[in-house]
Amino acid sequence: GGSKQSPIDIKRTGCPLDPRLSKMQAAYADIKISELSNNGHSWKAQVGSGRSSLRGGPLGDDEYVLEQFHPHWGKTNERGSEHTIDGACYPAELHLVHWNKSKFSSFAEAAATEGGLAVLGMFLAVGQEHPEMSKICSLLPFISHKGQAITVTDTVHPETFLPKNGSYYTYSGSLTTPPCYESVTWIVFEQPIQVSEAQLDAFRRLKSYHPC
């Protein structure tokens, strides 16, 4: 690992408020998932078509587009999120992975270069069922084992995963799974979004091994 590895424990007291940082501007339209897959440690929704634009805040005027999104979770609600706040965990964490379209021509090119990627991180807390997450959860039984994947025809609305309160923490770090490229501007939202216990259970039913 290098010097800028993620995830980190975010210490509220050590985070200065930067008045120069603007609100994040995220827009998504007609997003379709080309493939929903089980890679053995998470499900991943690969974006196939649609329009997306992420800019503002630490990203400035560069435009970043959505490549894929995936969650991280634990066996119980006590521990699951990758990032922690003052040492406290959430049951799960959702990552929306974007790449810099203003400077690069592909995700692979952007991923290998500092500042090439931007990841929105949302903590997931137990509460109301999340309607958009239900679309994904209903498909998870079809990718119950590692290596399984399906195509998805429904349009998804990633903007529903963003919390209403736009306050965020930001730092320069890396992807949290290999290859751990140190090319990521992390934007971790302070306010969690709610998912139901049943939705988290659907995540946990995924198996980390290939079908027999």
Residue 95 annotated as catalytic: no
Bridge partners (DSSP) of residue 51 are 29
Q: Name which of 155, 160, 135, 137 is nearest 31 in CA terms.
A: 155
Q: Measure the CA–CA gap between 204 and 174, rounded to whole angstroms.
A: 25
Q: Measure the CA–CA gap between 141 and 204, rounded to whole angstroms.
A: 11
Q: How would you classify residue 78: left for phi > 0, otherwise alpha for psi between -120 and 50, otherwise beta?
A: alpha
Q: Measure the CA–CA gap between 9 and 189, rounded to whole angstroms.
A: 13
Burial class (CB in 10 A: 0-12, 13-18, 19+), 18: exposed
Assigned token pair, 4: 């800028």
Of 41, 70, 72, 130, the catalytic one is 41
Q: Which residues are catalytic?
A: 41
